[in-house]
Structure 1
């Protein structure tokens, strides 16, 4: 049984990592998927591969820090499929720097991608969902939203803010058939941390003894995006291999 049959889903930051894995899994589960990101060649390739496997997907190039691109993404998705049932806000990057060394430029660049894009995408998608009387938003934040991680002050601030904002939006729209939840991944092996010299140390502190794969996180997102979690909204679900418990 395809859990997302007849659903249309936007997945931001889906040209690599968790976003790519989510887009592919959603397509396998029957969703019409809009892949969104800056890397046109990679995005088009993923869309072609999904279609070859019998799924339905298009790529829309978008810089998620730019208002015009965000509006184009939403408008083009509606033009292509007529509706938006699911939004997965996933675009982001990591910033790791001692607190005292953080600059205004760091603030502006990081907040634009990891906060404004989530905020604005929800603002633009929610009216469409409200008109159709249903919708589902999954915001991918981080374990850093609820845990203390030295050298991640700005990263933690933004992830915590999005996580709490999601709870507020969930409460505002709960009676309109719209659910809003967050996934808080722990350490995930992606392009962003493949060359990080701290990788061996990070693996040692994970009770399960290994990092998560993007595919594992995608399965958690699928749970939140599907009717399997139909009575969940305003929830922060953690997938961290047990780190939070130590």
Structure 2
């Protein structure tokens, strides 16, 4: 149920890729903290399920079916948010997928698709919400990238490129908008146990390589997103938090 001391009371938050994984857990946590949440994804059945879960716990949410690689869909996402809630205070860019291929096997189609999915969608969503945030004199953007943005992993060349680009772009956007009351930060997760990797036969082997001895859960990552999206991190902008169980730091 909705708590009494709410860190996101009356805030309006768009969370892309929120029909599963980190995005879903972030959306539900935001709602529990008092936010009106916009669930964004391609799977309508999953999106409506998340909305129903939030509403059954006393929260407020809508679902906007969105393919984040399509500009018209991103524009519609913002318009539907404004129609429903009249403002946008928080944007969490989370939608994306991993690609692992040997460097010389990366094709032009791979480049076009993954750059658009993992990079352009973040860039464009920020462009679309920033004018509304600037008008209100406040706003908060959290870009969920990846520890792959700073680590070296074989077969991760394209994926790391897309994540590193957004991680650095976020610092520049943070610098441009710091005097306008808008903060921009990044979360760099390591390996998270989601549906994307649940059936991967290498999952147990990967877990053994993490200093903490296990993969993260989506719920753990969502707590870090909440920290960056709330006033708990009020003096942070242009920063990156690595949540990878010690892989980078140890």
TM-score, scaled to structure 1: 0.99
SS of 2:248's equivalent? helix
Match of 1:224 in 2: 228
Q: 1:239 aligns with which of 239, 243, 248?
A: 243
1:208 and 1:242 map into 2 onto residues whose CA distance is 7
SS of 1:136's equivalent? strand
Unaligned runs of 5+ in 1: none
Measure how far apart 1:198 and its partner are. Answer: 1.7
* Counterpart check, 1:131 vs 2:135: yes
RMSD of aligned alpha carbons: 0.6
1:114 and 1:73 map into 2 onto residues whose CA distance is 17
Q: 2:189 aligns with which of 182, 185, 192?
A: 185
SS of 1:243's equivalent? coil
SS of 1:92's equivalent? coil
Match of 2:100 in 1: 96
Number of residue pairs matched by the alignment: 246
Q: 1:36 aligns with which of 36, 40, 50?
A: 40
1:181 and 1:99 map into 2 onto residues whose CA distance is 29
Measure how far apart 1:110 and its partner are. Answer: 0.6
* Counterpart check, 1:82 vs 2:86: yes
Measure how far apart 1:157 and its partner are. Answer: 0.4
2:169 and 2:202 map into 1 onto residues whose CA distance is 31
SS of 1:21's equivalent? helix
* Counterpart check, 1:52 vs 2:56: yes
What whole-Å deviation, never above 9, does each CA across 1:63-106 have from its counterpart, x for those lacking one? 00001000000011011100000000000011011111100010
SS of 2:186's equivalent? strand
* Counterpart check, 1:150 vs 2:154: yes
Map 1:187-202 → 2, pairs under 5 A: 187-202=191-206
Unaligned runs of 5+ in 2: none
1:204 and 1:87 map into 2 onto residues whose CA distance is 34
Match of 2:218 in 1: 214
What whole-Å deviation, never above 9, does each CA across 1:138-170 have from its counterpart, x for those lacking one? 000000000001110000001000000000000
* Counterpart check, 1:6 vs 2:10: yes
TM-score, scaled to structure 2: 0.98
